[in-house]
Amino acid sequence: MLYHLLYPLSQDYTVFNVFRYITFRSIYALLTALLISIVLGPKFIEWLRKIKFGQYIQEDGPKHQNKAGTPTMGGLLIGASLLGSVFLWGDLTNKFLWLTIFVFLGFGLVGFVDDYLKIVKKQNKGLSAQTKFLGQTIVALGVVSILVNMPGYTTELLVPFFKDIRPDLYLFYIPFAIFVMVGASNAVNLTDGLDGLAIGPVVVCAACFALFVYVTGHSQLARYLQIAYIPGVGEVTVFCGAMVGAGLGFLWFNAYPAQIFMGDVGSLSLGGCLGFIAVLCKQELILVIVGGLFVVETISVILQVGYFKLSGGKRIFRMAPLHHHFELKGVPESKIIVRFWILSILLALVALSTLKLR
Ligand code: 57M
């Protein structure tokens, strides 16, 4: 809105020219989202407490009983600050930006229904895994079908480190992109089991992808770095900036010991968006590196469940996902969290290095 209101004034006052720049608007989108969540946070947490939207804690895992009743559905706070900021600073005529907003809302809705059933209807399991998967797939199918028909977008798959390998997946690109989005959404969800464990790496991933989408939408930089050039995609940098700000604002309250959890409404929407943004800037394979921590957590679950079934009840880890394994080994929660953050920053640096290693 600010962009639409103030940029036209640049014809009379050159100072408003600055609204043209994606970099300027992304930085202010970050700061605005951060400010909104820090200002709204305490009232929102108080309200969740009042309406008794507290977390139910499972008995069978590491000792988290002291966390029982912690307000959850913090994803709503993330959504309000993120989208509020995007509406202020984004170019609302940009179709890529709207697709990203739609992914956030669509995946968020699936998570919201799940949280609602668990908390309000007291159905401990919430939505069944199949229903959740169906909801995520429908949202992903909708946006990917639109995306592949947008001008400038291709169904080629870019391979990190090898600039000449670009197989065209044609129609197979659609299920592939859906897999990336749904996989990312569930991977963030699985990781969200300790204070700040998911939101920290989400912020790191969003910051990293801010750079990827920016260069993908910039003709000279894209040519120089020999990556895909997709006109218009650069505007999604504003969304990434707001995601970093909203994430940091949420972390303010979710940091150990957490005053609020994000709930599925937060984890599914943020994960789905990261997957979609990777698809948008044609860095789907890079997501495996940037979001390596989410990948490792997911693989730990796949291995554990697979081995558990095949061996008739034996386990590889003390408990999956991996963070529970370390908890049960006696590593303090805050140490696990900070170490996982360090790993996610290192992985993001490796991913960024692929821009020059081609
Ligand atoms: C949700 N949710 C947290 C909070 C958060 C297939 C299986 C591996 C699935 C997995 C699972 O259900 N994972 C997804 C994980 C829960 O957090 C809520 O859920 C939202 C995210 N969806 O925002 O609202 C608990 O996590 C803790 N938490 C924090 N701080 C935070 O900032 O401490 C969350 C956010 C919260 C709180 O205690 O209540 C969760 O873990 O439930 N299932 C599991 O992870 C289970 N693992 C398991 O059963 N492993 C088995 C194998 C065979 C699959 C094994 O290894 O033997 C464990 N989950 C729990 N206890 N809680 C089992 C033990």
Residue 87 has pLDDT above 90, yes or no: yes
User: Does 32 sit in the ligand 1 pocket, CB within 6 Å?
Assistant: no
Please report the pLDDT score of residue 296 as a whole number. Answer: 98
Q: At what angle do helices 236-254 and 22-50 cross, to 10 degrees?
A: 40
In which residue are the tokens 């969003």 written? 206
Mean pLDDT score of the chain: 95
Q: How far apart are alpha carbons 215 and 349 in whole angstroms?
A: 16
User: Does 55 sit in the ligand 1 pocket, CB within 6 Å?
Assistant: yes
**Closest atom of ligand 1 to CA, residue 74:** 23
Structural tokens at position 40: 């709204």
Structural tokens at position 339: 């170490």
Question: How far is ligand 1, taken at its centre, from the CA of residue 81, in Å?
Answer: 26
Listing DSSP states for 145-204 in one string gives HHHTTSTT---B--BTTBTT---B-GGGHHHHHHHHHHHHHHHHHHHTTSTTTTHHHHHH
Listing DSSP states for 112-143 in one string gives HHHHHHHHTS--TT-S-HHHHHHHHHHHHHHH
Residue 60 has pLDDT above 80, yes or no: no
Backbone angles phi, psi at 159, to 5 degrees: -105, 120
In which residue are the tokens 């998967």 written? 133
Please report the pLDDT score of residue 24 as a whole number. Answer: 96
Q: Tell whether the torsion through CA atoms of 102, 282, 132 and 62 is positive or negative.
A: negative
User: Does 119 sit in the ligand 1 pocket, CB within 6 Å?
Assistant: no
Please report the pLDDT score of residue 61 as a whole number. Answer: 73
Please report the pLDDT score of residue 154 as a whole number. Answer: 93
Q: What is the mean pLDDT of residues 30-45?
A: 98
Q: Domain boundaries in the chain?
A: 23-353
Q: How far apart are alpha carbons 272 and 67 in whole angstroms?
A: 27
Region of residue 263 (left: phi > 0; alpha: psi -120 to 50; beta: else): left
**pLDDT tens across 313-338, in order?**
999 999 999 999 999 999 999 999 99
Residue 155 has pLDDT above 90, yes or no: yes
Please report the pLDDT score of residue 63 as a whole number. Answer: 81
**pLDDT tens across 93-118, in order?**
999 999 999 999 999 999 999 999 99
Structural tokens at position 286: 């890079």
Greatest Cα pair distance in the chain: 75
**pLDDT tens across 240-289, in order?**
999 999 999 999 999 999 999 999 999 999 999 999 999 999 999 999 99
Choose which residue among 261, 297, 309, 328 to substitute to test ligand 1 binding: the one with the highest number of ligand atoms within 8 A of its C-beta: 261
Q: How far apart are alpha carbons 327 and 192 in whole angstroms?
A: 14
User: Does 195 sit in the ligand 1 pocket, CB within 6 Å?
Assistant: yes
